[in-house]
């Protein structure tokens, strides 16, 4: 696991801690709830839920989640595969998060089971400077990294219209008088693509 990835998982677990996880409900619609990110290590992220919750059933059936969390103008998103690891790491989770022993006192914690997010992709956003946001992406396990922001193709005619409409001023003229979008500061608002006279600006599908 890359150093940067470890840093993002640490922010998610230790700083943000309470995150929102989405699964699908019985009707195939998205369903969210707040959960706490309990632990992280080189093998991924760890959280838990009780066997009686619909969230538990959805995790077992779907094996996939999208989660996001934010605190102090920083946000982290992770989409990926999850698997049930039973009571493995449960004692470590309760030792690391002592408040859990108050919600589930004594042996009532046995109703909880641990899930590991072991493979997925993530994004990091820092908007502490709103005039110049920062983005980064990372990978957990064997997932393939995905491009997310807008990109300029060779069809660019160098008219510079996109430069003047970017809210974050993150488009410059690059090689061969062709516009270049600095992905790490792009809001993905799409304004550049709307004004391009030759449809040279596209966003890769996730």
**How far apart are CB 96 and a copy of itself at their closest, in Å?**
15
> Alpha helix locations (H) across 50-203?
54-62, 90-96, 100-103, 161-165, 191-195
Three-class SS of residue 128? coil
First-last CA distance in the chain: 22
CA nearest 5: which of 178, 131, 142? 142
User: Could you give the string, one character per residue 59-98, with x where binding to a copy of itself holds by CB under 8 A and - elsewhere?
Assistant: -----xxxxxxx----x-x-x-------------------
Does residue 6 interact with a copy of itself by CB under 8 A? no
Does residue 30 interact with a copy of itself by CB under 8 A? yes
Does residue 3 interact with a copy of itself by CB under 8 A? no
Does residue 52 interact with a copy of itself by CB under 8 A? yes
Among 3, 86, 197, 205, binds a copy of itself (CB under 8 A): 205
Does residue 144 interact with a copy of itself by CB under 8 A? no
Identity of the residue, 184 or 188, whose beta carbon is nearer to a copy of itself in the bound complex: 188
> H/E element holding 31?
strand 30-36
Instruction: Tell me the C-alpha distance between 25 and 68, whole Å.
Output: 18
DSSP letter string, 135-165: EEEEEETTPPP---S-EE-TT-----HHHHH
Residues at the site binding a copy of itself, with contacts judged by CB under 8 A: 18-26, 28-34, 50-54, 64-70, 75, 77, 79, 99, 102-105, 108-109, 111-112, 125, 127, 130-131, 133, 150, 165-168, 187-191, 193-194, 203, 205-206
């Amino acid at each position: 696991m890359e150093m940067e990835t470890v840093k993002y998982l640490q922010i998610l677990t230790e700083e943000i801690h309470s995150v929102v996880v989405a699964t699908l409900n019985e009707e195939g619609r998205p369903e969210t709830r707040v959960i706490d990110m309990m632990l992280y290590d080189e093998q991924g992220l760890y959280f838990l839920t009780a066997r009686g919750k619909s969230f538990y059933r959805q995790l077992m059936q779907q094996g996939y989640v999208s989660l996001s969390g934010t605190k102090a103008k920083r946000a982290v998103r992770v989409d990926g595969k999850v698997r049930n690891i039973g009571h493995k790491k449960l004692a470590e989770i309760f030792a690391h998060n002592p408040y859990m022993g108050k919600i589930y006192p004594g042996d009532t914690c046995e109703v909880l089971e641990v899930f590991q997010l072991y493979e997925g992709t993530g994004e990091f956003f820092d908007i502490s400077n709103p005039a110049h946001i920062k983005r980064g992406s990372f990978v957990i396990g064997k997932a393939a990294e995905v491009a997310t922001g807008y990109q300029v193709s060779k069809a660019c005619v160098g008219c510079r219209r996109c430069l003047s409409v970017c809210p974050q001023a993150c488009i410059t003229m690059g090689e061969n008088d062709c516009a270049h979008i600095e992905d790490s500061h792009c809001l993905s608002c799409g304004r550049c693509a709307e004004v391009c006279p030759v449809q040279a600006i596209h966003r890769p599908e996730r």
